[in-house]
């Protein structure tokens, strides 16, 4: 069983919609990360969370440590948000990431 589970696997939205991607994990973590990967492979780190909530532009990330759950929200979605969104955790030792399977988001104009 994967230690990090993401849902949904695929998501299609109309431009302007509010989007939520969920991530659950089953191990102790140092931090939870949300990443974005565009076609071609480049990965960008969006958020690093150890508690609470963070906001960057139209993106909001939350984490509930007790429930071992995190969500990524995109408000007023735009076609340029189309990408694969990946949650990953770093354990209590080291910097390495362990990844979820990713959510492929397509935003239609």
By the rule CB under 8 A, 107 interacts with other proteins: no
**How far apart are the C-alpha atoms of 15 and 7, rounded to whole Å?**
20
Per CB under 8 A, the list member of 39, 67, 80, 95 interacting with other proteins is 95
Nearest approach in angstroms of CB 76 to other proteins is 25
To the nearest whole angstrom, how small is the minimum distance from the Cβ of residue 57 to other proteins? Answer: 17
Cα–Cα distance measured from residue 105 to residue 100, given in angstroms and rounded to the nearest whole number: 15
User: Which residue in the set 22, 24, 71, 90 belongs to the binding site for other proteins (CB under 8 A)?
Assistant: 90
C-beta of 3: minimal distance to other proteins in Å? 12
Supply the minimum distance, in Å, between the C-beta of residue 17 and other proteins. 26
Q: Is the peptide bond before 40 cis (omega within 30 degrees of 0)?
A: no
Q: Which of 45, 51, 75, 106 binds other proteins (CB under 8 A)?
A: 45
Buried b or exposed e, range 11-46, using 16+ CB within 10 angstroms: bebeeeeebebebbbeeebebbbbbbeeeeeeeeeb
Q: Does 22 bind other proteins (CB under 8 A)?
A: no
Nearer to other proteins, 47 or 77 (CB): 47
């Amino acid at each position: 069983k994967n230690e990090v589970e993401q849902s949904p696997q695929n998501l299609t939205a109309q431009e302007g919609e509010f989007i939520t991607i969920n991530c659950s994990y089953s191990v102790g973590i140092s931090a939870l990360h949300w990443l974005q990967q565009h076609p071609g492979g480049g990965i960008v780190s969006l958020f690093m969370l150890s508690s609470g909530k963070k906001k960057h532009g139209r993106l909001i990330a939350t984490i509930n440590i007790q429930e071992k759950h995190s969500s990524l929200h995109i408000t007023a979605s735009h076609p340029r948000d189309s990408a694969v969104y990946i949650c990953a955790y770093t354990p209590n030792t080291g910097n390495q990431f362990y990844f979820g399977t990713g959510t492929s988001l397509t935003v239609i104009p």
